[in-house]
């Protein structure tokens, strides 16, 4: 349990006091209740849902209603919304609050996916200052006592930065924290996050916490980001793929004394056990063993990065359709194989190359939304994406 109410916790997001200033980054297709529960078993902090589209929520789409459901062990319950329309976003926030379905709501303004930015959504949206202000103001008002935060990128590209304006607008609108993935949409996931932008945002936004995000692969990176930027907490995404115990390392490095368990010895046996637990939680989440075992496949390469697990075994794990089959495969491995060091560390997950962002025609010419743009944006709702 990561929340405590102490006199001066390391991070306070509205009424939520976290004894470790660490947030699991929302990741579509990854941070479902199964993965969040697993991460929480190792560490402390705030664990955000994958992105939920506001229109689907307002329409009570069955899959969406399932995605916003938390396990009873998940406290505080945190949900990220993606919206492009002020009224729909407000209605989605109201639904969560009135039905007591969340203790924290985050708004996603960081999605760089072309099909989203092409319509003015995601990371393209904060360029339109009034629209951004309208969405955040109405959402924050509808949230009432439930803290609302925004997560954004630096901007569209290096010539069209939005994060300082957006941070100040969000602060004025009454958000409880702002988080910055320190890349532009054009950078996608390439190169290195520009942590100096997090420091600049921390100077611009002074009344609520500023959370830094981008390229934290280890607890040392998190300590360094906080020291170099002065940010109030860190948001960790790809670094925990295949290593949910990173949240234990982060709690030991950044949390209050006693808030973390002992250091882990990441032998192959330890990693296999975490993988097995993840698969089991996915089976529980989907209420379908085959589906859970299919979903764990995308995690195989991340868990076993650097470990002596051959291509054949990886391929078998990536086609296993039952927990018993996973157990049979594991029985063939030498579980005493030690932690391989550097080979298991570093970058994982999305990378990619810079791309010129797709935008609506003449989007950059003005920071106001005209009528044509307004209807284009209305079509920018999506099924799922990323940030
Ligand atoms: C597979 C994947 C899915 C993502 N989905 C979302 C999302 O739903 N919402 C969001 O705000 N960001 C999303 N992101 C972006 C992350 O939250 C985070 O900002 C980004 O990965 C940078 O942090 P990192 O370097 O710690 O990974 C996604 C990233 C990845 C890799």
State yes or no: pLDDT of 268 exceeds 60: yes
- Indicate the angle between helix axes 33-42 and 246-254, nearest 10 degrees: 50
Q: How do residues 212-247 score in pLDDT, each as one tens digit?
A: 999 999 999 999 999 999 999 999 999 999 999 999
- Which residues belong to the active site? 111
pLDDT higher at 378 or 92:
92
Report which DSSP code applies to 3.
Answer: B
Which atom of ligand 1 is closest in space to residue 51's alpha carbon?
A: 8
User: What's the average model confidence in pLDDT over 310-321?
Assistant: 96
Q: What is the largest CA-CA distance in the chain?
A: 64
User: What's the average model confidence in pLDDT over 150-178?
Assistant: 98
State yes or no: pLDDT of 385 exceeds 90: no
**What is d(CA 83, CA 53) in angstroms, rounded to the nearest whole number?**
6
Residue nearest to atom 15 of ligand 1 (CA): 387
Here the tokens at position 130 are 């009034």
Mutation test residue for ligand 1: of 23, 24, 27, the one with most atoms within 8 Å of CB: 27
Q: How confident is the model at residue 387 (pLDDT cuts 50, 70, 90)?
A: low
Cβ count near 281 (within 10 Å): 21
Ligand 1, CB within 6 Å, residue ranges: 25-28, 30, 50-51, 80, 108, 110, 151, 181, 213-216, 236-239, 349-350, 386-387
Domain 12-261+351-378 has CATH 3.20.20.70: yes
Rounded distance from Cα 330 to ligand 1 centre (Å): 30
Domain boundaries, the chain: 12-261+351-378, 268-338
Enter the pTM of the model: 0.95
User: What distance, in Å, lies between the first and last C-alpha atoms of the chain?
Assistant: 27
Which atom of ligand 1 is closest in space to residue 151's alpha carbon?
A: 11
State yes or no: pLDDT of 356 exceeds 50: yes
Residue nearest to atom 26 of ligand 1 (CA): 237
User: What's the average model confidence in pLDDT over 258-273?
Assistant: 90
Rounded distance from Cα 241 to ligand 1 centre (Å): 11
Measured CA angle at 345 (ends 256, 343), to 5 deg: 145
In sign, the C-alpha dihedral spanning 132, 134, 139, 144 is positive
Rounded distance from Cα 27 to ligand 1 centre (Å): 5
State yes or no: pLDDT of 346 exceeds 60: yes
Which atom of ligand 1 is closest in space to residue 153's alpha carbon?
A: 19
Kindly give, in sequence order, each residue whose CB lies less than 8 Å from that of residue 372, ignoring residues fewer than 6 positions away: none
State yes or no: pLDDT of 328 exceeds 80: yes
pLDDT at 70: 97
pLDDT at 374: 80
Q: Say what percent of the chain tops pLDDT 90.
A: 86
pLDDT at 262: 84
State yes or no: pLDDT of 380 exceeds 80: no
Here the tokens at position 26 are 């929302």
């Amino acid at each position: 349990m990561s929340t405590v109410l102490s006199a001066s916790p390391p991070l306070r997001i509205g009424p939520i006091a976290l004894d470790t200033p660490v947030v699991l980054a929302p990741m579509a297709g990854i941070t479902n209740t199964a993965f969040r529960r697993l991460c929480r078993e190792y560490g402390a902090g705030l664990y955000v849902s994958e992105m939920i589209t506001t229109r689907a929520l307002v329409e009570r789409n069955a899959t969406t209603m399932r995605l916003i459901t938390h396990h009873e062990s998940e406290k505080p319950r945190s949900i990220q919304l993606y919206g492009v329309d002020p009224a729909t976003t407000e209605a989605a926030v109201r639904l969560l609050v009135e039905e007591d379905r969340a203790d924290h709501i985050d708004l996603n303004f960081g999605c760089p996916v072309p099909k989203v930015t092409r319509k003015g959504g995601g990371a393209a949206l904060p360029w339109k200052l009034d629209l951004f202000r309208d969405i955040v103001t109405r959402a924050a008002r509808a949230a009432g006592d439930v803290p609302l935060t925004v997560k954004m990128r630096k901007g569209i590209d290096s010539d069209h930065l939005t994060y300082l304006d957006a941070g100040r607008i969000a602060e004025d609108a009454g958000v409880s924290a702002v988080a910055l993935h320190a890349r532009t949409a054009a950078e996608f996931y390439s190169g290195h996050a520009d942590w100096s932008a997090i420091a600049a945002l921390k100077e611009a936004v002074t009344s609520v916490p500023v959370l830094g995000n981008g390229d934290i692969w280890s607890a040392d990176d998190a300590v360094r980001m906080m020291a170099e930027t002065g940010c109030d907490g860190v948001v960790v995404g790809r670094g925990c793929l295949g290593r949910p115990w990173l949240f234990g390392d982060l709690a030991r490095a950044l949390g209050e004394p006693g808030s973390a368990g002992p250091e882990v010895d990441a032998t192959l046996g330890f990693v296999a056990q975490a993988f097995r637990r993840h698969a089991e939680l996915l089976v529980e989440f989907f209420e379908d063993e085959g589906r859970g075992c299919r979903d764990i496949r995308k995690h195989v390469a991340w868990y076993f990065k650097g470990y002596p697990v051959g291509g054949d075994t990886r391929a078998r794990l990536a086609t296993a359709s039952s927990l018993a089959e996973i157990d049979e495969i594991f029985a063939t491995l030498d579980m005493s194989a030690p932690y391989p060091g550097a080979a298991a560390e570093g970058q994982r997950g999305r990378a990619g190359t810079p791309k010129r962002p797709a935008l609506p025609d003449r989007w950059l010419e003005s920071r106001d939304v005209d009528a044509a743009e307004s209807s284009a944006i209305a079509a920018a709702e999506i099924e799922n994406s990323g940030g």
